[in-house]
Structures are given as structure tokens and as C-alpha cells.
Amino acid sequence: MATIVSEKLGHLFLNVQHFRKVPRLLEGALPSSSCTVGASDVPQVFQKPYIHAGYRPLHRTWKYYFLSLFQRHNEAINVWTHLVAALVLVVRFWRLSQAVDFHGDPHTQPLFVVAVSSIIYSTFSALAHLLQAKSEFWHCAFFFLDYVGVATYQYSSALVHYYYAIEPEWHERIVGFYIPGAVLLAWLSCAGSCYAKYRCPHLSSAVEAVLLDYETRRPVYSRLHGSLASLFSALCLLVLACCSLTALYMTAQVKHKLRQKQE
């Protein structure tokens, strides 16, 4: 009996010893907060007004930048605000999918588009702020990706306002140009932001959230829009494709510019 008890105590002691090693293992895996550098140690493209320290050094491994999610640096708040927002939106979208028939009801497609695009733009923004410090090229590339997400959300926001909240009188006035205009403006937003980042890297963009009421105005918008929900939703893919191609083109321009600088 004494032998059994001593063996169990021995196993318990070993388990406690393993638990004590966990913080040390985490400290070894995570980048140290002291690894950040000052503004003078990074290229001008990374420097922010009034922020003189907390920059992550360039040209580290991808693992370093992913693990910096759990460290203090100048982008930590930006990363977490977008990441938490994306997670909250995923949960809200899942709950919404339990109450709304996204598959069977065509009039839910604009609602589906704005929900997904909200998750996309928050996720892209979180990735941009988390990983942009790797190099000048990746700084521009990830923010171009961020602008794709913002433009996609911009179109979807315009779509849900038009689809669910518009009054019949206004619908008659703008039905011919509102959605094409929203597509064009979304692409111009992305293209303009990409070009501004290319020419003047310290510029940034912002987007505001919208609220919509899907249920109460259904008799109005279902009569106004008929079977156009699929077309409007497909245009979101067009916006996403055009913005992605624009971002890829501007990424290639940045790569060419950096290559010329090195030569």
C-alpha cells in the first residue's frame, strides 16, 4: 500500500514539475518585448507620427511576427481590435445563420454578403497590422490586402442600405445608377488607397460600420428588387476580383520599385 501511494505521489510530483516548465517554454517560444526597436532603426515607411519606439525589427521569420500577436509593440492594439472584431462577427454570423435561411431565401443574399465582407475586412486588417513589419515589400502587400477588404465591405454596406432601407420614392430615382456606382466607387477606393500607399506610405483609410433591419422592411424591398439579389451579390465578387487584381498590380509595382532601389 505504501509503495502504491509513493508511486502516485511520484507521478504527481513529476506532473507538477512539467507544469512549472510551461511558462519557461512559452517564454522561449514567444519573441521578447525587448526585441522592439526605435523609429530610427526602421525605414521611413514604417514610422508613425509621435511613435518613437515599439517597432518590430525587419526580416525576421514569419513565426516571429505571428507570435508577436502575444507581445507588446506599436501595432498590438491595432491587431487585437481587428482580430477581436473578426471573432465577434464570426460568432454573430453563426447565430444569425440559425435564424435566417441564407440558402433558401434569395432576399437574404445581401445580408449574407455584408456579414461575410465584415469578417473579411476585419481579418485582412488584423493580418496587415500583424505581418506588415517583415519588410517594405510585405508592408505594402499586406496593406493592399487590407484595402481589398475595406473596398469589399464598402460595396456590401452600400448594397444593404440600398436593398433593405431604401424608400420606394428614392428607389425610382437611383435604381439605374446606384449599384453600378457603388461598384465603381468601391474599386476606386481600393485603387486610390493602393496608389496612395505606393506614393505616400504614411496615409491610411478607415471604414464605419452600419446597422440594418432585415425583417421589418421585407414587404418593401422584396417588391422593389424582385429577383435582383443574386445579381447584386455577384457584383460583390466582381468588386473583390477587381480590387484583388489592382492590389496584385500595385504589389508588383512595389516589388519593381524596391528592386530598382537596391540596384
Q: Is 225 marked within a binding site?
A: no
* Distance between CA atoms of residues 113 and 190, nearest Å: 18
C-alpha dist (Å) from residue 158 to 78, 155, 224: 25, 5, 16
Distance CA 206, CA 28 (A): 37
* Residue 204 CA, distance from chain mean position: 14
∠114-226-97 over CA atoms, to 5°?
35
- Cα 6 from chain centroid (whole Å): 55
> b/e per residue, 68-91, with b = 16+ CB within 10 A?
bbebebbbbebbeebbebbeebee
Other C-beta atoms lying within 10 Å of the C-beta of residue 222: 16
Feature table: binding site for Zn(2+): 129
Annotated binding-site members? 129
